[in-house]
Amino acid sequence: MLAKAKKAVPGLIVLTMIMCAGFYLARPRVIYGNPTGEIPLVMPSELGGYKAQKILFCMNDQCARAHLEDDLTSIVDGLPVVAGTCPVCGSELSPISIGEMNLLPDNTPIFRRQYSRPGRPPILVTIVFSGIERRSIHRPQICIVSQGSRILNEYPHYVKTGADSELKIRVLDIQQVYGEAGGQTTASEPYIYAYWLFNPERETDSHWERFLYMAIDNSFRDYRPRWGYVSLSLPRSQSNPDAWKRQLDEFVPFLYPVVSELREELDKQRGITTVIETSSSEMNINQGDVEAKTRNPRQNVQEP
């Protein structure tokens, strides 16, 4: 009898440890950095001669086209009216693509504009934020591939942001694959996907580095601010293969001060405390400007 009880001891110890760890992690905690707070960001309507436009996505997965707001706008009785349905297939439109809707938690803040300037290819700028719910930010190496594209190459690119400062950006060469017919793969024009990540304190081009910073800040400092994820998509011309570099070098210095100012503003929320419970993922209130309240396309709300 005693021998049997002795045998059970290691198992009981492990069980107790697991339960303690569970209770420890599940306990309500006070964290700093206000990860559910307001995001004081307004996407500029113009950056260095680049004009901003909103984008709306068709919710029909057979069509799934992206439309510029200008292309959907007509003048009715002297007032601009934005069409609520896809001009190609008539389906509902949403500020968030089908892929994003499937991959991202419901309350992910997203800010997005297409910036274009005569004589240059347009640049699509997206800034996504994490909150309490950290799935909001995905490694593009996962979600680009899951959306049917191929990453041909990956490398860093440095953009001068000031007299003696530069920003390290991660660049992916992407080829969108449309489909395969008769053993032949049809592919679209290649494009560049460039990104970097930031929180009030840090800036990196590496998702792994972000995971490490998040783990350290969360575990040892109870500091859990929002992380922002800036991504830029632009075409990669085959006849002019370095044009995208010159364009990023031109455009990023216009965008960068907007992000720097935002980081300073977010840093002012550092002292705000949040008590997190086990199921805190619901706390991330959407603050993006693509009106995620319209994420359900049946409740399409026009902006004033």
Supply the minimum distance, in Å, between the C-beta of residue 92 and Zn ion. 9
Nearer to Zn ion, 47 or 58 (CB): 58
Nearer to Zn ion, 86 or 234 (CB): 86
Binding flags for Zn ion, 166-205, as an x/- string (CB under 5 A)? ----------------------------------------
Supply the minimum distance, in Å, between the C-beta of residue 90 and Zn ion. 7
Q: Which residue in 172, 246, 255 sits closest to 206, CA to CA? A: 172
Stretch that binds Zn ion, among 33-41, 78-86, 112-120, 203-211 (CB under 5 A): 78-86
Q: Is residue 59 close enough to count as binding Zn ion by CB under 5 A? A: no
Binding flags for Zn ion, 84-103, as an x/- string (CB under 5 A)? --x-xx-x------------
Q: Is residue 68 close enough to count as binding Zn ion by CB under 5 A? A: no
Count interface residues toward Zn ion (CB under 5 A). 7
Nearer to Zn ion, 20 or 89 (CB): 89
The separation between the first and the last C-alpha atoms of the chain, rounded to the nearest angstrom, is 77
Nearer to Zn ion, 188 or 278 (CB): 188
Q: Is residue 63 close enough to count as binding Zn ion by CB under 5 A? A: yes
Q: Which residue in 108, 97, 27 sits closest to 66, CA to CA? A: 97
Nearer to Zn ion, 63 or 283 (CB): 63
What is d(CA 37, CA 284) in angstroms, rounded to the nearest whole number? 8
Which residues are near Zn ion by CB under 5 A? Answer: 58, 60, 63, 86, 88-89, 91
